[in-house]
Amino acid sequence: LNAEDIAEIKKTWAIPVATPTDSGAAILIRFFTKYPSNLEKFPFRDVPVAELNNSARFRAHCGRIIKTFDQSISQLGEEGGLEKIQDIWQGIASSHVQRHNIPKPSYFELREAIVEVLSEACNLNERQAEAWNKLLDIVYDIIFKKYDDLGAQ
């Protein structure tokens, strides 16, 4: 990521992070609507998608996803930031293998929902979409390397 990528990511991120739970909810509802099998992995699997916003456990998870991105984005451009970003996403990969049993393809499905919702919410131009895709490539690289280390698929 170059300085311009980082500036574009930070500038556009200000919009979804202002309402973190609602932004996370928009992403997850898109994710479950397009790829319903992912909902089966969650404790709120029996809640119909239209009612998810009333589930406290769902809302908590929405906030956590946004917080993970926020912690990473605040490290961009900082000294030692890349190591911290690595720690954050290796931790996500480990818990998602060991506790949640999430297979790699689910991440591609989630990525689609993230990019779609961000593009709409932030009205991303081409340059901004490119910066976000670079960040997601970095994050997904960290996740999948950890999956490989753990022998997970």
Site of interaction with ligand HEM (CB under 6 A): 38, 41-43, 57, 61, 64-65, 68, 92, 95-96, 99-100, 102, 106-107, 110
Give the shortest CB-13-to-ligand HEM separation in angstroms.
Answer: 14
* Cβ-proximal residue to ligand HEM, closest one: 95
Residue number with CB closer to ligand HEM (62 or 79): 62
Burial zone of 94 (CB within 10 Å; 0-12 exposed, 13-18 middle, 19+ buried)? middle
Phi-psi region of 140 (alpha: psi -120 to 50; beta: other; left: phi over 0): alpha
Burial of 55 (0-12, 13-18, 19+ CB in 10 A): middle
Closest CB to ligand HEM among residues 6, 102:
102
Shortest CA distance to 29 belongs to which of 4, 104, 132, 21? Answer: 21
Q: At CA 127, angle to CA 91 and CA 123, rounded to 5?
A: 85
Residue among 72 and 128 whose Cβ is closer to ligand HEM: 72
Closest separation in Å from C-beta 77 to ligand HEM? 20
Of the pair 63, 77, the CB lying nearest ligand HEM is at 63
Tokens 């996500």 belong to residue: 92
Q: Which is nearer to ligand HEM, 4 or 91 (CB)?
A: 91
Phi, psi angle pair for 65, to nearest 5°: -65, -45
Smallest gap from Cβ 37 to ligand HEM, in A, equals: 9
**Please, what is the minimum distance in Å from the beta carbon of residue 6 to ligand HEM?**
19
